[in-house]
Structure formats: C-alpha cells, structure tokens
Structure 1
C-alpha cells in the first residue's frame, strides 16, 4: 500500500483555502521505499503576510518576492505527485483543500488521488495532543524547523513509516476525522470518508 507515496505540505497566508494562498510548498515522492524526487519552493504572493504567519513559519514577504509563479508551482507539484500516487499529509483536510482550490482556480480541475492523513491515524491511536511536533516527539523523530514545508514533509513521512511499522495503516486510506465541536470541514474530496471525534485533553 505504501509502494508509491507522495508526502506533501503547504505553508499558507492564512487558514481559508478559498481566500488565502499557498506561500511555500514541499513534496517528497517515495517508490518502494526509495526517494525518487523532491520538490520545494516559495510561491509568489501579491499580498502582505500577517505578522502571525511570519512569527509561526519564519517566512517573510522578502522570501516570496522571487518565489515561483503559483501556476507553475502547482504544475510542478502535480508532476511529482502523479495522478494515482497515494498522497500523505498531517492534517490532510487542510492541505487537500488548498490543493483542490488552487488547482480549480488555475485549471478548473481537481485531483482524485487516494490519500492518508497521519493526524487521523494519530487521533485514533494516541492520546491528545496530536500536532506534528507532538507526534514526532512521541515516536522519537527529529523534527528540525517545524512549520516549514520541507521539514514538515520529512517529519510526516517518518511519522507515517513509524506508524505503519507499529501497525499497518492500510485501513486509513481516504479517511478523515474532524473535531465534532468545530463542525465538518468546508471541503473534502468526494472519495473521503468523514468521521467525527470528540476533542479531549
């Protein structure tokens, strides 16, 4: 099931996949356990980043001045992903929504790849908290530079591999959980299976 995967991550200008934009992206493609490609770039952004985003990520407006054009960035990303590769992200609800809205805005198409959300697995298997940093700590994975796209991709990939070694994750394909008190996500893929979870400390 993990013979062909692409782990990816977005850093964005805000939380809305409709109104906000991806400002940094990274992806790693792994086939039969061997990394075959890696892609990362800043993405040109016309607006101004709010201080909270810079504080969280370290990304500034100066980083984005020479970023890749949005359309070219997403075309490159989709080449790395491929049409049927299993996509992997931590809090995939967030990243998949940004992927969908960007693709639709650029070319009026979306994606149909299967996916796995390591956050959904974490919520099922381990107690709160479930941030990528917390989960990497639980599995003794070094996560250097959290909230930067490539670092988060490397952490998520290692987390997936550790979880799969502990107990196969096959039954989590295309499954997304959401915290019931916050309601359903704004958008999920048509092939997603949604399930609510009760948020507890």
Structure 2
C-alpha cells in the first residue's frame, strides 16, 4: 500500500516563481508504516536578500540565513530522505514545481515519485477555506503555527491521516486540481492528472 511509505515535505521560498525564486527553508519527514523513521529541517541560504513581505509571512530574516545550509547540500539530503517514496504536500503544485526546478538547476534531472496533494482532496471534500491551518482546524488536528516548514509538515501529515480515515485518499494519487478561474500550473510531472476545480461554499440562509 502506497501510504506505508511516504515523505511529507514543505518549502518556504523567496517568492512564487519556481524558476527564478529560491527555497529558504525546507522540512521533510519520512513515514514508514505509520512511524516517522527520519526527518530533515533546515534553513537554506538563497544567495539574495529577502523582501519585507516574505519576512512578514515566514518570520525568517536575512540574518537567519547568513550561515544557513547551501541549497545543493540541502536538496541532496532531501532527495536522500525521499528516495522513491510517495510525496505528500499541501498545495503540492507549488512544492513539486520548486523541487523540479531546483533539481533541474542543480543536477540536470527531475523526480518520478508518485504524490498526493492534500489541498486537492480538501477542495473536493470540504467547503472553503482550504488553507492548511483551516483544514487542520476542520479535522481537529493540532498545529503549532503556520508558514514555518516543520510545523506545516507535521500538520500536513496529521491532516492526511484524518482525510484517509474519512475515506481512502489513494484515488487522489498523482491528481492535481487547480482553480478554474486561474491558469493551470506551468509545470507538473508528466504522469500527473491535472483538472480544473472550484471552491465550494457553505449555503447561506436568506433572511
């Protein structure tokens, strides 16, 4: 069963464009048969100053990144943890693109791991909003805080378990939903099934 060997991961970045922006923090946990067997969390030196907006969102400052890990080393460690496991992320389209373009830049290759996007499942099963913090609240998952990679990874893993307890998440392997009012992601794995979706909203009473 694919869920017996997963890697939940998350990136914080200097911006949104995976081709030109850089990862400034990464976290991952490898989970085999429901047990965390390894993990990795590090700040990453992007080689450029952060915008005030990114510092505001993440709490990460330029001073924190001065002696942070080199991205080449960081991504090598991350891939060593992931190996051929099932990758899990919330808004996986974002993190998978950053993983792809970093691997292209650093090693001239990409990955072929299967993946699950908990955001896609969230949009299919629940009403808006679908941020990781919102979904954890809906499913009774405790989360220490958002927009720091390690907190997001632990929250995403617990959310995946809650979603799977509700109904198997395996039908969502390699499926990526994107909001139809926006363009689809510029890059997805060749084996991904990409489909348009839209947010569902709770019905409001008419007074």
Q: Structure 2-normalised TM-score?
A: 0.95
Matches within 5 A, 1:111-130: 111-130=111-130
**Deviation, structure 1 residue 200:** 4.9
Alpha-carbon RMSD: 0.8
**Deviation, structure 1 residue 158:** 0.2
How far apart, in 2, do the equivalents of 1:141 and 1:170 lie?
21
How far apart, in 2, do the equivalents of 1:198 and 1:32 lie?
33
Alignment correspondent of 1:108: 108
Alignment partner of 1:147 is 2:160: no
Alignment correspondent of 1:16: 17
Render the CA deviation track for 1:140-183: whole Å, top value 9, x for unaligned.
Answer: 11111210000000000000001001111010000000001111
* Structure 1: 5+ residue stretches without partners: none
Larger radius of gyration: 2
How far apart, in 2, do the equivalents of 1:145 and 1:22 lie?
19
Q: Structure 1-normalised TM-score?
A: 0.98
Stretches (4+) displaced over 3 A: none
How far apart, in 2, do the equivalents of 1:30 and 1:199 lie?
30
Alignment correspondent of 2:169: 169
Give SS of 2:3's match: coil
Matches within 5 A, 1:1-201: 1-82=2-83, 84-201=84-201
The answer on whether the counterparts of 2:90 and 2:118 sit within 8 Å (CA) in structure 1 is: yes
* Structure 2: 5+ residue stretches without partners: 202-207
How far apart, in 1, do the equivalents of 2:53 and 2:128 lie?
24
